[in-house]
Amino acid sequence: MGMTMTQKILAAHAGKVTVQPGELIEAHLDLVLGNDVTTPPAIRIFEEAGLETVFDPNKVVLVPDHFTPNKDIQSAEHCAKMRRFAKSHDLDHYYEQGEPGMGVEHVILPENGLVAPGDAIIGADSHTCTYGALGAFATGVGSTDLAYAMATGKTWFRVPDAIRVYLTGQLAEGVTGKDVVLHLIGQIGVDGALYQSLEFAGPGTEVLSMAERLTICNMAIEAGAKNGIFPVDAKTVDYLKQYAPQRYAEQNYTIHQADEDAVYRQTITIDLAQLRQTVAFPHLPENTRETGTFEAIPIDQVVIGSCTNGRLEDMRLAARWLKGRTVAKGVRLIILPGSQRVYRQALEEGLLAVFADANAVISAPTCGPCLGGHMGILAAGERCVATTNRNFVGRMGHPKSEVYLAGIPVACASAVLGRVAGTDELPD
């Protein structure tokens, strides 16, 4: 029986010729990631267990990004604990304000050249599955698993079954990768891929940009998936040339293709040309509707950014839809570039001026509002359209607030019109 992309990567990292769904394995890891929410308890576990050294200072990556810039004393103490740990273990990759390459973890790891095809990566953050866009196996774990992985460079997995998502066609104007993943989650539900691998295939994968693939894999967890993964193609290789030139030059990566006789629990076919701009209504990512199919819903805030949609391509797309327009009276528009690199490039290209002219507030790179941490908390009864990845009850603030998930074009149109809206509703 053949193997999927995910199964091949896990087999290689477990030192096995083949693995089967449901099999328990121990796998060597190429990268271990923690942030300012999950790393402090992992450090406590690390120290209480008497662990003394990390397995490889070049493969343990710590990124304070959820409550940074520090919003209070507790968040400052968490980051200080991470900082001390990174220094004492001489970690090569510690990123916070003032450090080169800083930003939101799932934006900066690929753009700092730390991810490549065939890698096996864990992170104590559920959206670590983002890196499947580059043909890697990447998944989220808890703080205990993080602690022991930092010390040993290994962890255990139950080999997942797989769902094949076969993409055809091309996206229409104003429809993005965010609409693709929202459509998929709306189709199968938030537990439709529970502990399975979402394996994307078909000619439609080739038309998606790397930023769109990163967005789609980022939200694989919102369907319950263990991971999401795209095949490696010319766009992936071009991305490696740009962001991981040393690994590209050394050919220090492995491309795994699914076997023709790989077994999938099901195949879902999506014609990209048939997709429309999609919004996930409160309070689940599966509660999706197409724009134009619902009555006017007034809003109070729009958030553009996050690990899902905070890349340079996203900033360029936002500027395209905001240029020459202004935010509706009574609406707050917050834009968060996903990294310092994205911020600087957006500045050089004049994108930040477009945002300022539209009366948006431009933030430092942070996860803040996405998890209801800071920089955009909602009051009772307020509604927000966000390009983030979750809209659970109280996710962005008060339990009686509401979050509507959407792609960049819909977020921009909503900010301008003051209600949840698609771009076809914008005046010429």
3-state secondary structure of 217: helix
Candidates 205, 213, 221; CA nearest to 258 is 205
Yes or no: say if 236 and 208 are a contact pair by the CB < 8 Å rule: no
Q: In this structure, what token pair is assigned to residue 381?
A: 């009864």
Model confidence pLDDT, tens digit, residues 101-112: 899 999 999 999
Predicted pLDDT of residue 113: 94
Give the neighbor-by-neighbor strand order of the sheet with 196-201: 227-229, 196-201, 161-168, 266-271
Output the pLDDT for position 1.
76
Q: Kindly tell me if the per-residue pLDDT of 90 is higher than 80.
A: yes
8 Å CB contact between 124 and 146:
yes
Under the banding of pLDDT at 50, 70 and 90, the label for residue 98 is confident
Cβ atoms of 21 and 35 within 8 Å: the answer is no
For the cut 90, the answer to whether the pLDDT of residue 99 exceeds it is no
Residue 37 has pLDDT above 90, yes or no: yes
| Measured CA angle at 407 (ends 403, 408), to 5 deg | 110
How does pLDDT run across 258-267, given as a tens digit for each residue?
999 999 999 9
> pLDDT above 70 covers what percent of the chain?
100
Comparing CA positions, the residue from 115, 7, 16, 110 lying closest to residue 59 is 115
Cα–chain-centroid distance for residue 258? Answer: 23
- Does residue 199 contact residue 167 with C-beta atoms inside 8 Å? no
Tell me the whole-structure pTM to 2 decimals.
0.95
Query: 90 — phi, psi (to 5°)?
Result: 55, 45
Q: Domain coordinates of the chain in residue numbers?
A: 5-270, 276-425
Confidence of residue 415 (pLDDT cuts 50, 70, 90): very high
Residue with tokens 């500045």: 347
Taking 90 as the threshold, does the pLDDT of residue 166 lie above it?
A: yes
According to CATH, the superfamily of the domain at 276-425 is Aconitase, domain 3 (3.30.499.10)
Per CATH, 5-270 and 276-425 having the same topology is answered yes
In the numeric block, the tokens 């983002």 are attached to 130
Residue 409 is predicted with a pLDDT of 98
DSSP for 344-396 reads: HHHHHTTHHHHHHHTT-EEPPS--GGGGTSSSSPBPTT-EEEESSS---TTTT
pLDDT at 411 > cutoff 80: yes
CATH 3.30.499.10 fits 5-270, yes or no: yes
Average pLDDT over residues 22-48: 96
